Amino acid sequence: MNSTYRLYILPVLVALLLLIALYLDLLPRSNTVQSDTRLAMGTLVTISVWGVPQVKAEQAMQKAFMHIARLEEVLAWQRPSSEVRKINQDSRGTWLPVSEELAKLVELGLRVTELSHGAFSVGLQPLTALWGFSSDQPRSEPPPPAMIAAWLAAYPALQAVQLRKNHDGAYQIKLQNDSVGLDLGAVGKGYAIDQAIAVLQQEGVMNAIINAGGDLRVIGSKGAQPWRIGLQNPREPEHIVSQSLLRGNVAMMTSGDYERYFIFEGKRYHHILDPVTGYPAQSGLSSVSVQGQNASLINGLSTALFVLGAKEGMPLLAAVPGSEALLIDLDGQRVQSKGFVVDWLQQ
């Protein structure tokens, strides 16, 4: 090959390959994040992906949103046709068939119940319905104390929800009595995020974030940049107090007394309930964020830690490898485990 020929063939080849790649939309759109936001799970969910061609990104995000919508149809006790609703309408004290998908989530919830010695429970639906925080017409004052006392007297604590797998591989569930009903509100969002991330990965997306109203999981990065996450100030939720620069495979879920609440006679009543008292948890905290790999599990963990408070709650982290927590108390003081990724902003 003469040298003039060699000089030209390389740039021509490169240009040709570029053209083919462009035509087939094979080129990564580097440095651009593609996002889609939709209303799901009672909040705005934003999926952002990085490093894939536009067509592929749109397809993957669409599939992920469809998966979330399908899961909501299984998990939300408020939905008339959901599996959870059907189980809640069925009889108590007997074994009922349950889908593997729902069983897996209940199993995870029962693990958090065990870890937290009952501070967390997936069986609280009658109590959460009584308080009405997720109803269309939320309360503005607490329910009558006699109703809470009646629920408390009947609630079978650690025996509330039982799950078993038969020899044929099918799952069955038992709700002990009428004071028990399934409410997966504290783990469902994390579960949906985990599953939607898996959908994105199956579609070839390696860099993404799914953020459901501040509860989120990231994979990969934004090119050279990490994903940047803000944490709300519990007493001024429109402002953020910190940012976390996350990359790799990390989820961060937050439970706060500012998310759903009302003030009655000067006292704040919020949606995270203590199964031991029947009232909103009063552990001295206003916000609990947990970071870890598995959004479903740390979703449950954040609720459990909120109910238990700093002293009893922090030791739970040892049982979930890779989990880290940041607690903000009612005076705005912070307690955090060593590995929690956070940069505080100037106040």
- What is d(CA 214, CA 249) in angstroms, rounded to the nearest whole number? 17
Which tokens go with 29? 């759109």
Phi, psi for residue 310 in degrees, rounded to 5: -60, -50
Contact set for ligand AMP, span 265-284 (CB under 6 A):
271-273, 275
Q: Identify whether the C-beta of residue 224 lies closer than 8 Å to the C-beta of residue 231.
A: no
By beta carbon distance, the residue nearest ligand AMP is: 185
Determine if 186 is a binding residue for Mg ion (CB under 5 A): yes
- What is d(CA 317, CA 298) in angstroms, rounded to the nearest whole number? 9
Choice between 51 and 278, CB closer to ligand AMP: 278
Sequence-ordered list of residues with C-beta below 8 angstroms from that of 337, at least 6 positions apart, any chain: 314, 317, 324, 325, 326
Choice between 52 and 301, CB closer to ligand AMP: 301
- Among Mg ion, ligand AMP, none, partner that 294 touches (CB below 5 to 8 angstroms by kind): none
- What is d(CA 257, CA 274) in angstroms, rounded to the nearest whole number? 13
Contact set for Mg ion, span 31-70 (CB under 5 A):
none
Amino acid letter, 21: A
Amino acid letter, 310: A
Cross-strand bridge partners of residue 290: 253, 325
The site for Mg ion, by CB under 5 A, has a size of 5
Determine if 291 is a binding residue for ligand AMP (CB under 6 A): no
Cross-strand bridge partners of residue 216: 211, 252
Sequence-ordered list of residues with C-beta below 8 angstroms from that of 127, at least 6 positions apart, any chain: 148, 151, 155, 179, 273, 275, 278
Determine if 211 is a binding residue for ligand AMP (CB under 6 A): no
Choice between 53 and 185, CB closer to ligand AMP: 185
Choice between 203 and 215, CB closer to ligand AMP: 215
Angle at 36 between CA 228 and CA 206, to 5 degrees: 60
Determine if 287 is a binding residue for Mg ion (CB under 5 A): no
Contact set for Mg ion, span 242-271 (CB under 5 A):
255
Q: Which of 195, 221, 299, 323 contacts Mg ion by CB under 5 A?
A: 299
Q: Which of 128, 233, 242, 289 contacts ligand AMP by CB under 6 A?
A: 128
Stretch that binds ligand AMP, among 11-19, 24-32, 193-201, 298-306 (CB under 6 A): 298-306
Cross-strand bridge partners of residue 232: 240
Phi, psi for residue 212 in degrees, rounded to 5: -110, 85
Choice between 244 and 299, CB closer to Mg ion: 299
Q: Which of 195, 242, 299, 323 contacts ligand AMP by CB under 6 A?
A: 299
What residues make contact with ligand AMP under the rule CB under 6 A?
120-121, 124, 128, 133-134, 183, 185-186, 255, 259, 271-273, 275, 299, 302-303, 307
Residues that bind Mg ion (CB under 5 A): 186, 255, 299, 302-303
